[in-house]
Structure 1
Amino acid sequence: MKFNDKIPIYYQIKQYIYREIIINNLQPGQKVPAVRQLAVTLTVNANTIQRALRELINEKVLISRRGKGNFVTTDAETLTNLKRNVVEDQVSNLYDQLAALKITPDEMLKYLNNYINSRKEVHHD
């Protein structure tokens, strides 16, 4: 995983795990790899992984089972909220970038619709 030096690594790891959950690489109820395994895979300090996991547990995205490890929540509402929050964060960033270019909300929608339609044509979705 390539990290952005301007964003805390633990936060980027959280975002990575969110993505893995949203795209179902980590499914509800599935055990998350151990701290040491994640540290090796992502080439980061185990303490950094532990901080990210602790926050995910506090957010109830992960459930910790003593002696067994950490598991993705099976709570549908939590998973729905997770996806919504991640998407809203991405849309917020896009909105801010386009607003800085003095693009109006109506123009943003037009550009986004045009872009989506052009992608559909290319990918035959």
Structure 2
Amino acid sequence: MEFDDKVPIYFQIEQYIDREIIVGNLAPGAQVPAVRQLALTLTVNVNTIQRALTELIREGILVSERGKGNFVTTDTAVLAQMKKRVIQGELAGTYDHLAALGMQPAEMVAALEEYIKERKGGESHD
């Protein structure tokens, strides 16, 4: 994983785990790899991984079971809220970039719809 120097690494790891959950690589109830394994995989310090996991536990996205490890919550409301937060973060960045180019919201929507049609052939991804 390549890290952005402008964003704390622990936060980028939180985002990585959020995305792994959203795309289904970590299903609800699934055990998250051990701290040391994640540290090796992502080539970061164990303390950095622990900080990211602690925050995800605090948010309710992960559940810690003493002696067993960390697991993705099975609370669908928590996972839906997390997914919404991630999507809104992505959209906020895109919106800010397009607004800086002088685009109005209606132009942004039209441009996105056109992009989707050209990029994906208009297929639905429900």
| Residue equivalent to 1:89 | 89
3-state DSSP class of the match of 2:96? helix
3-state DSSP class of the match of 1:70? strand
3-state DSSP class of the match of 1:7? coil
| Residue equivalent to 2:10 | 10
| Residue equivalent to 2:58 | 58
Mapping of residues 1-125 of structure 1, within 5 Å = 1-121=1-121
Shift of 1:120: 2.4
Q: Distance in 2 between matches of 1:74 and 1:86?
A: 18
Q: Distance in 2 between matches of 1:32 and 1:53?
A: 9
How high is the sequence identity, in percent, across the aligned residues? 59
* Unpaired stretches in structure 2, ≥5 consecutive residues: none
CA RMSD of aligned residues (A): 1.1
Shift of 1:124: 5.5
TM-score, normalised by the number of residues in structure 1: 0.96
Poorly superposed stretches of 4+, deviation over 6 Å: none
